[in-house]
Each structure stands twice: as structure tokens, then as C-alpha cells.
């Protein structure tokens, strides 16, 4: 099934049913009182997290969804039927955004969690409601209120404990195959991974964590190059990042240079994301001799001025992967305890999550805007050539205007 993690949809709640104007007419009762019933409420629209879904592909081509209208009121004080609510299933980890205001309406992070996105219209009142001591035969009714209509943007972020970072061919997919039952495609060419892959890593008999592999980053990714930039948002909800570096690249490049590329792209995409706990994992150690291995590890650590944990592994040979998995499990357990026992620590993590979320959305929106401008043929200011014409006299000291012919 095709992986789709961003869609735009339009939802419309049902309108409320109109009130009925009716009078009691029975044998021997020619002038009975009013008996018009109220209309029914319009159906509302909900989004519900479904653990059986892992993509938004169902909303790629069908984008308009309407809940049922309420029925009009009936005679003999009968209330109209309520419109049926519309419940749209989405994967767990979906963020719902109001496209008009860019406001985050909610996050569906637990199976069965439900969010109201469009309220059904209120029912109209029948003429019975307006009966009084001075108005025994009211002819007044009210129409039902229209239901809410919204343009929504749905963004799916996979829910994982650990995220993998690295250049293409750093061995991320091989690593996830080595430590879990997931079997992502592995090949000796770049961009083998085209969509995020999740794997469950079992540590011991009863403990496990989820790890996410995203397409590799390349230099210029923060400006839209390559595949990985749009998938970086999937790392926003992880608790730990593993930065995988190829210790023996086929092109003979410096592993430290490759590590710096990832750090720079991460910083440009979201400065807050660089504050997430991150471990350095030096992969493909089996392709180096012992002395050469130690030398390259030292070079990378010194070049990056790395202060955090460092692991040297071979994902292909499963060398060092068990120790790394156990260290990750211990870290996650200790983090969970700290969150429960230290409110300040928990609040700091929550604030960091909010910063990462905001920066990621802002950066992706900026890239979308730039793409839309390019498609419309609008040039950016730094792409316009200066023809030497100076119009400072007309600008009256304001910003210079560049006219594109």
C-alpha cells in the first residue's frame, strides 16, 4: 500500500432540520392547538485513531466528506431524526490542522481517541415552542442552523521511540533488519528507502521499543533536496535519535564530513531537534582493520567535538547491535522514570516537543510556499538580475522595488 503522510480534506457537518408548523386536526376538534415538532440536529464529523491503519492514502483522492443533515420536524409534536455522525478513521499519530488558521486542532496519539472537527447544526424549533397565553395559534418556526465546514490538513507522524539519522547508504535499513523483524529493502545504491519503516526491537523477554528508519538526508536537504527532508518530521516524536555514520564509504569520503552534513541539515531544518538526545553510531566497522577502526573513530569524535555516547557496530554482522539495543532500552526506562518523578524534567521535554513541532511545520510550509511560487513562475528576490536601473528617487527612502519584465 502506498505510504501517504499528508493530505488536505474538506469536511461539512450536517445542517439542522427545520421546525414544523402544524396544527392539531381531529374529528370534532376543528381548531386544535399547534403541534409542530422540532427538527433534528445535524450530524457531526469526527476523526478517530485506528491502530489498523498506517497511511492516509484513503484520503488522497476522496477529499470531501459530509455528515447527514437533520430531518425536519413532523406533526403531532414529532421531532425530526438526528443526522448520523460521520466518523473518519485515521492512523494513530495523525495531527489535525485547520488549514485556514494553521491552528493545530488536536493530535490523535492513542487507539480509539476521537476528535470533533465539525459540529452539526442546531435543530430548528416547531411552532409548538411559541405557544403562549396570548398566542394560542402561533405560525412562527425557526430553520435549522447550518453545520460547520472546515478545510483540514492531516499530517501523519509515525510513533516511534527511536529515530535513525544518516546519509543514504549509511546502513540504517540494515541496522533495523538486524535488530528487529522488519525487513526494509536493502541495496547498494542511494535512496533505497523511500518511506519510513518501523521495527519493534525486543530486549529480553518482556521489554521492547519501536525504531523508525527514514529516507537518508543529503547536503541541501533543508532546502528541499533529496527525499529525507519531508520525512524528518517523523522524528519529532521520538525520544532518542541515533546518528548512523558509514565508517568505510565506497567513495573514499571522510566519515567526519558525512556526519557534519547531517548535523548542519538538522540544524537548518529545526534547531530544537538538535537538542533531542542523540547518540553517535559508527557503522560498518567490520570493513576496517582494528588499528584503522580506532583511528577513524577518534577522528570522527574529535572532528565533531562529540560529548555524547558513541557506539561502534557492524549492522551486517550484528556486531555490537545487541549491546546498543540494551543501552537504548535502559535509557528509555530511565527516561520514563524521570518523567514520572520530576515535573520540571517532564515540562522541559514537553516544551522541546512543542518547539520541534512548530519549527518543523514552519519549515515544511516554507518549502511548500516556495514550490508553489516556482510553479506559478514567480522569481525569488535573490534570483532577479539587476539591470542597473536605479529607482531610488521614486521610492522616497523606502524599500527598493525590483520590476521583473
Give the residue among 220, 260, 231 at the shortest CA–CA distance from 243. 260
Predicted pLDDT of residue 165: 86
166 is in an annotated binding site: yes
289 is in an annotated binding site: no
Per-residue pLDDT band for 220 (boundaries 50, 70, 90) equals: low
Residue partners of 285: CB distance under 8 A and separation at least 6: 247, 293, 312, 313, 314, 319, 320
User: b vs e for 6-30, b when ≥16 Cβ sit within 10 Å of the residue's Cβ?
Assistant: ebebebbbbbbbbbbbbbbeeeeee
Mean confidence (pLDDT) of the chain? 82
Cα–Cα distance for residue pair 73/96, rounded to 1 Å: 35
Predicted pLDDT of residue 88: 95
Residue 66 has pLDDT above 50, yes or no: yes
87 is in an annotated binding site: no
215 is in an annotated binding site: yes
Residue 189 has pLDDT above 50, yes or no: no
Which range has the worst mean pLDDT, 66-70, 158-162, 219-223, 322-326?
219-223
CA distances from 92 to 184, 197, 214 (A): 21, 15, 18
Residue 30 has pLDDT above 70, yes or no: yes
Which range has the worst mean pLDDT, 86-90, 252-256, 337-341?
252-256
Predicted pLDDT of residue 103: 87
Predicted pLDDT of residue 86: 95
Residue 268 has pLDDT above 90, yes or no: no
Per-residue pLDDT band for 325 (boundaries 50, 70, 90) equals: very high
Q: What is the pLDDT of residues 367-392, one digit of tens each?
A: 777 777 777 777 655 555 555 545 44
Cα–Cα distance for residue pair 271/134, rounded to 1 Å: 70
Cα–Cα distance for residue pair 82/120, rounded to 1 Å: 10
Return the percentage of the chain with pLDDT > 90, whole number: 31
191 is in an annotated binding site: yes
Higher confidence at residue 405 or residue 333?
333
The pLDDT of 343-354, averaged and rounded, is 90
Q: Which three cell numbers stand for residue 114?
A: 476521537
Please give the DSSP secondary-structure letter assigned to residue 2.
-
User: b vs e for 54-66, b when ≥16 Cβ sit within 10 Å of the residue's Cβ?
Assistant: bbbeebeeeeebb
214 is in an annotated binding site: yes
153 is in an annotated binding site: no
Cα–Cα distance for residue pair 121/42, rounded to 1 Å: 5
Q: Which domains does the chain have, with CATH numbers?
A: 6-156 (2.70.210.12), 162-368 (3.40.50.300)
360 is in an annotated binding site: no
Cα–Cα distance for residue pair 401/133, rounded to 1 Å: 72
* Most confident of the following: 116-125, 173-182, 250-259: 116-125
Residue 401 has pLDDT above 70, yes or no: no
In the beta sheet, which residues pair with residue 243? 165, 280
Higher confidence at residue 333 or residue 188?
333
Give the residue among 96, 354, 350, 356 at the shortest CA–CA distance from 241. 356
284 is in an annotated binding site: yes
Higher confidence at residue 19 or residue 102?
19
340 is in an annotated binding site: no
15 is in an annotated binding site: no
Higher confidence at residue 16 or residue 160?
16
Q: What is the pLDDT of residues 116-167, one digit of tens each?
A: 999 999 999 999 989 988 888 898 999 999 999 999 999 888 778 898 888 8
Cα–Cα distance for residue pair 149/158, rounded to 1 Å: 28
Cα–Cα distance for residue pair 374/370, rounded to 1 Å: 6
285 is in an annotated binding site: yes
133 is in an annotated binding site: no
Predicted pLDDT of residue 400: 46
Q: What is the pLDDT of residues 271-316, one digit of tens each?
A: 888 889 999 999 888 888 888 888 888 888 888 888 889 999 988 8
The pLDDT of 196-201, averaged and rounded, is 81
Contact (Cβ atoms closer than 8 angstroms) between residue 319 and residue 286: yes
Give the residue among 197, 403, 209, 228 at the shortest CA–CA distance from 325. 209
Predicted pLDDT of residue 185: 52
125 is in an annotated binding site: no
Residue 44 three-state SS? coil
Residue 234 has pLDDT above 90, yes or no: no
180 is in an annotated binding site: no
Residue 405 has pLDDT above 80, yes or no: no
52 is in an annotated binding site: no
Residue 395 has pLDDT above 50, yes or no: no
* Most confident of the following: 108-112, 199-203, 263-267, 283-287: 108-112
141 is in an annotated binding site: no
Residue 227 has pLDDT above 80, yes or no: no
195 is in an annotated binding site: yes
* Most confident of the following: 18-32, 77-91, 236-250: 77-91
18 is in an annotated binding site: no
Residue 280 three-state SS? strand
225 is in an annotated binding site: no
Predicted pLDDT of residue 403: 42
Q: How many Cα atoms occupy the beta-carbon half-sphere of 257 within 13 Å?
A: 7
Q: What is the pLDDT of residues 73-129, one digit of tens each?
A: 998 889 999 999 999 999 988 999 998 888 889 989 899 999 999 999 999 999 998
Amino acid at each position: 500500500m502506498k505510504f501517504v503522510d499528508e493530505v488536505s480534506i474538506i469536511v461539512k457537518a450536517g445542517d439542522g432540520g427545520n421546525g414544523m408548523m402544524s396544527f392539531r386536526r381531529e374529528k370534532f376538534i376543528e381548531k386544535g392547538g399547534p403541534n409542530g415538532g422540532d427538527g433534528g440536529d445535524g450530524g457531526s464529523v469526527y476523526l478517530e485513531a485506528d491502530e489498523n491503519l498506517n497511511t492516509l492514502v484513503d484520503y488522497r483522492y476522496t477529499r470531501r466528506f459530509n455528515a447527514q443533515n437533520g430531518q425536519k420536524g413532523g406533526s403531532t409534536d414529532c421531532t425530526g431524526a438526528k443526522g448520523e455522525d460521520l466518523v473518519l478513521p485515521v492512523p494513530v499519530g495523525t495531527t489535525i490542522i485547520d488549514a485556514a488558521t494553521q491552528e493545530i486542532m488536536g493530535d490523535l496519539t492513542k487507539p480509539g481517541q476521537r476528535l470533533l472537527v465539525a459540529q452539526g447544526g442546531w435543530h430548528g424549533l416547531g411552532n409548538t415552542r411559541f405557544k403562549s397565553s396570548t398566542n394560542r395559534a402561533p405560525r412562527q418556526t425557526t430553520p435549522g442552523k447550518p453545520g460547520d465546514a472546515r478545510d483540514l490538513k492531516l499530517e501523519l507522524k509515525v510513533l516511534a521511540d527511536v529515530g535513525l539519522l544518516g546519509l543514504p547508504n549509511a546502513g540504517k535499513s540494515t541496522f533495523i533488519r538486524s535488530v528487529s523483524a522488519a525487513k526494509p529493502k536493502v541495496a547498494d545504491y542511494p535512496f533505497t528507502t523511500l518511506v519510513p519503516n518501523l521495527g519493534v526491537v525486543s530486549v529480553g523477554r518482556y521489554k521492547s521499543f519501536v525504531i523508525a528508519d527514514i529516507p537518508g538526508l543529503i547536503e541541501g536537504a533543508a532546502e528541499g533536496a533529496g527525499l529525507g527532508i519531508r520525512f524528518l518530521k517523523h522524528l519529532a516524536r521520538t525520544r532518542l535519535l541515533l546518528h548512523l555514520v558509514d565508517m568505510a564509504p565506497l567513495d573514499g569520503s571522510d566519515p567526519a564530513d558525512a556526519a557534519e552534513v547531517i548535523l548542519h541539515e538538522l540544524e537548518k531544518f529545526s534547531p530544537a531537534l538538535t537538542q533531542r538526545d542523540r547518540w553517535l553510531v559508527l557503522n560498518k566497522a567490520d570493513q576496517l582493520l582494528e588499528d584503522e577502526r580506532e583511528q577513524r573513530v577518534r577522528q570522527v569524535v574529535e572532528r565533531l567535538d562529540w560529548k555524547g555516547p558513541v557506539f561502534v557496530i557492524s549492522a551486517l554482522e550484528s556486531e555490537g547491535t545487541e549491546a546498543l539495543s540494551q543501552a537504548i532500552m535502559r535509557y528509555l526506562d530511565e527516561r520514563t522514570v524521570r518523567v514520572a518523578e520530576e515535573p520540571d524534567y517532564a515540562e522541559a521535554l514537553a516544551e522541546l516537543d512543542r518547539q520541534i513541532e512548530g519549527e518543523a511545520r514552519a519549515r515544511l510550509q516554507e518549502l511548500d510556499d516556495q514550490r508553489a511560487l516556482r510553479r506559478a513562475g514567480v522569481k525569488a528576490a535573490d534570483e532577479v538580475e539587476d539591470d542597473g536601473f536605479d529607482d531610488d528617487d521614486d521610492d522616497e527612502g523606502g524599500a527598493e522595488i525590483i520590476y521583473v519584465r
